[in-house]
Structure 1
Amino acid sequence: MISIIIFSILLIIGFGYFAVNANKIRTNILMGRDVDRSDNKGERFKVMSLIALGQKKMFKRPIPAVLHLCLYVAFIITQIELIEIIADGLSGEHRVFRSSLGAFYTFMISFIEILSVLAFVATFIFLLRRNMIKVPRLNMKEMKGWPKLDGNMILFMELILVTFIFMMNGADEVLYNRGLSHAEQLNDESFGFAVSQFVGPALFGGMSESSLHLIERIGWWGHIVMVFTFLNYLPFSKHFHIILAFPNTYFSNLNPQGQFTNMDAVMKEVKLMMDPDADPYAEPEEPEGEPQRFGAKDVEDLTWKNLLDSYTCTECGRCTSNCPANRTGKLLSPRKIMMDTRDRLEEKGKGIRKNGKDYDDGKSLLNDYITEEELWACTTCNACVEACPVNIDPLSIIMDMRRYLVMEESKVPTELAGMTSNIENNGAPWQFSPDDRLNWKDED
């Protein structure tokens, strides 16, 4: 009874604390401007199924894709065993589903064990790639400090979690063979789990009954404690993408890449100017609420989808490694754009929850986090968008911040100022009048 009470308290605290922190992230995301992504539901489910569930874009890099798939499938399938552990913890039973499922139960746990071994190997290789091989995109300057520690911590948690699984199953296997297991004996057969039937006797075969029970209980409690630790670490980690990848891909931008958005207020004025039937002397309509800022200076000027992107970022660096500006030594890193947006959003969200919705700390995403040099280094080629495995769009953030610089602060690089003047005067980027543009054909 005491163990049931302790487990119940742990369950309530674990899921409750996660719900509180997940709601903070939800509130932060909803700080952004509204954007309609409710259309084409069938197409959106298709994109989510291929990209988030099917890992389609991951396989552009086959080796890390296969390793990631091992972790991904293991994470999904092992939730079946987690369901049983929760049922055991609340009922005080042990392997509560085994007697009713029989051979299918043995098959499922064996399958989970095989996936766990693959996940263990993949995790170890990922640690080597980050810390020994030092894959360049995982060791850029924005990955120093907490981002690197965060990546390593989650991998170590995975190793510990798998270790607890085999402590529990391995000790249980030996106990069951001796007829001493907590689980109900079925025809005096061993569990016969694919991995534990070998690992258990090899590691724990010479131990006493009391030692085996202790190891099994450490494995059981360690497993569930690690699950709750992992769950409540997610909202503070880049690994929250495990959950957010699905809504983020569902709400992907389905428009053709390179199609930029127009501000409704500006489009309305332009249409009025182009309408020959419009009354130039008519009184303008009274604006509803506070006028929208031209472009984005801070996180609340971005859309909620931009902010969802920032929390979904896996920090894998595929966007930055494919960015032509970054590869030629420019300051721009699309991954840093997303990380900076998330950091600023976290900072602003904490301030608002503490001081109220009118909180202003005198800082902004532009300049305090992201510099003008980074923004103007972008070539708008969409390589970052194409490379992202979860359909994050750093380009839309860059373009909105550029729009603010141009339309609100009149800050344009000299080269672009000359080009726009030529377009205005000559109808082309070049400093030639339309009549002179084809003179070259008459030259000898």
Structure 2
Amino acid sequence: MNKSLWHIRNYKNWFISDTAEALAKNMRTFAIPLVAFEISQSESIAGILTAIEATLVMILTPIGGVLVDMLDRKKMMYSLGCVGFVLSLITAFLLCIEPNVLVFSLLIILFGIFTGLLGGSNDAILKSLIPETLFPSAQAVRESREATLDLSGGVISGLLYNISNATIFVASSLSYLISAFATIPIKTASIKHLKKVPAQKHSQTNLLRTFLNHLREGWDWCSHKPTFLSAMLIGAFVNISFVMLLTGSRIMLAASGTSSVLIGLINTGMGISAFIGSIFAIQLVNRIRTGLLIVLCLAFTTLCYVPLLFQSSFPYLLIVTSLTGLPVPALNAALYGFLFGKTPDNMQGRASAVFETSVGLASAMTPALVGPILQLDNGFTLIILLTIIFSFLSVLTALCSKIRTIPHTTMWDEVTL
């Protein structure tokens, strides 16, 4: 099946474009807190700028989803590559001549805006480029690609940043350029149906109103599902603790003069352990009662954080962050598998939008809190304490809700959300 997939020229062009864009985004995400601290010497500014881009992306992504259904997706992909190329080059040029916090902040805001508005086109166009029977294979290939980027992205970004802070943005601009050029050969004939939204029946205002109505319906549905609400809380607490630890570690290590190559190893360590965890995830989900597995995964992660209260040197950070990646695949398979497995087909999109927006916004704004805390005496210790508290809240939510009572996968048909 994969062999047939790779014989589709449209798919190969899309894969090159999407991979190059994902690599560019990974490099930029790695660099933002490090560059922000380097040119400002302020942990607060580093945290705030990291939060600004992530928050803008989360807020604008739903609007971008509406644009994806209104505009030519190939042109949106091409525009994303071109805009990313230009912004990355400008950023690299700025860092070479005279780094300026205000100008850098403006560029980060522009990155967030265009990523949020245009980034959804890559996902949306895929299904129209390949036969429906090959779509699951394409998704599996993409998951493997994401795992590879997670494993290598941190080291690559660290090595580039170690040369200079501008080098990583030069590399990012080249990736965006490759993404834009790879989009050009994609045959638009296979996506003509995207333009068949009759102007008489669906004005842009009506499409936006439809989107807002769907989001409201999603909120109404989710608010009457206690297990769904509990899962949203758990997801928010887990994401906040992860982002707090990773962002806090990056800024703290940068402030202490740690090599960017070593900082990049933190993501690599987590990626390796998550890959190992994924090997055993299916076995754990099939052998352990779902509710119990969720609680055990959350408890394991919480316990992993505790040693950092007493020792937070780089080797300990690397070990702890790596260990926290182990239960992630099993946790996702158990919690999200049940959650969306029990969500009706006609609510999948709306429920997913509600879940991702709620959970994503909470973690996106977290870096803005991390920066100022790091400037306090024993700031990183306080970050670890808050990380443990939020992680413990996820365990508490699971224990005090219907999450803990979710039965084995063979009995999911007998329960409801």
**Shared fold, TM over 0.5:** no
Q: Which structure: larger Rg? A: 1
What is the TM-score when the length of structure 1 is the normalising length? 0.24
Structure whose residues are more often helix by fraction:
2
What is the TM-score when the length of structure 2 is the normalising length? 0.25
